[in-house]
């Protein structure tokens, strides 16, 4: 039986269409006054009991098995995106690419097929987002 988080992610990705780019330079300001912690961010990225980034993405330096290949590898992502651009993709990648299959991790508007238990809830807290951004910003090579 699939985990509730995986079912939620799959439910969010049902309407996949041709990829359209909005503005790839869109940036999102920090969600908290507390800076992100890259160590906590790595824990969130790897947490298979939640909406782990490794379901869809891979990071070559991590020993985790069964990393995803659906999304782009995250190796060197900090060389391609600044923190605000990365944060926007985590908060709600639909603003950057309207037809993305990446779920919005810190948005609740415009969702469909969301179980009653999760209506109005974000996948990641504001601090989780900041922590993930801090970790991803360490991936420069």
Quote the pLDDT of residue 19. Answer: 42
Q: Tokens for 90?
A: 């985590």
Residue 73: inside a domain, yes or no? yes
Quote the pLDDT of residue 86. Answer: 96
Residue 56: inside a domain, yes or no? yes
Cα–Cα distances in angstroms (integers) from residue 60 to residues 72, 73, 110, in the given order = 12, 8, 33
Quote the pLDDT of residue 13. Answer: 43
Q: Give the range of the structural domain holding residue 129, as residue numbers without chain letter.
A: 4-22+33-136
Q: How far apart are CA 100 and CA 46, in angstroms?
A: 22
Over the stretch 8-30, which tens digit does the pLDDT of each residue have?
444 444 333 344 455 677 889 89
Residue 109: inside a domain, yes or no? yes
Quote the pLDDT of residue 5. Answer: 52
This prediction's pTM: 0.81
Residue 104: inside a domain, yes or no? yes
Domains in the chain: how many in total?
A: 1
Does the pLDDT at position 4 exceed 80? no
Instruction: Name the nearest CA neighbour of 15 among 100, 114, 129.
Output: 100
Question: Looking at residue 10, which CATH number applies to its domain?
Answer: 1.10.760.10
Residue 27: inside a domain, yes or no? no
Residue 84: inside a domain, yes or no? yes
| Cα angle value 115/121/127 (rounded, 5°) | 145
Residue 90: inside a domain, yes or no? yes
Over the stretch 86-114, which tens digit does the pLDDT of each residue have?
999 999 999 999 989 999 999 988 888 88
Does the pLDDT at position 134 exceed 50? yes
Does the pLDDT at position 46 exceed 80? yes
Does the pLDDT at position 118 exceed 90? no
Residue 102: inside a domain, yes or no? yes
Average pLDDT, the chain: 85
Choose the weakest-confidence range: 13-17, 41-45, 64-68.
Answer: 13-17
Quote the pLDDT of residue 52. Answer: 87
């Amino acid at each position: 039986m699939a985990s509730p988080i995986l079912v939620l992610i799959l439910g969010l990705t049902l309407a996949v269409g041709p990829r359209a780019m909005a503005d790839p330079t869109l940036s999102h300001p920090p969600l908290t006054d507390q800076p992100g912690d890259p160590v906590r961010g790595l824990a969130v990225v790897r947490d298979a009991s939640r909406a782990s980034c490794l379901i869809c993405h891979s990071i070559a330096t991590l020993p985790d098995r069964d990393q995803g290949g659906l999304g782009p590898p995250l190796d060197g992502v900090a060389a391609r995106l600044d923190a605000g651009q990365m944060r926007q993709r985590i908060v709600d990648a639909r603003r950057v690419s309207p037809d993305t299959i990446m779920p919005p991790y810190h948005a609740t508007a415009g969702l469909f097929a969301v179980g009653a238990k999760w209506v109005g809830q974000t996948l990641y807290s504001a601090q989780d987002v900041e922590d993930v951004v801090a970790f991803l910003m360490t991936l420069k090579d």
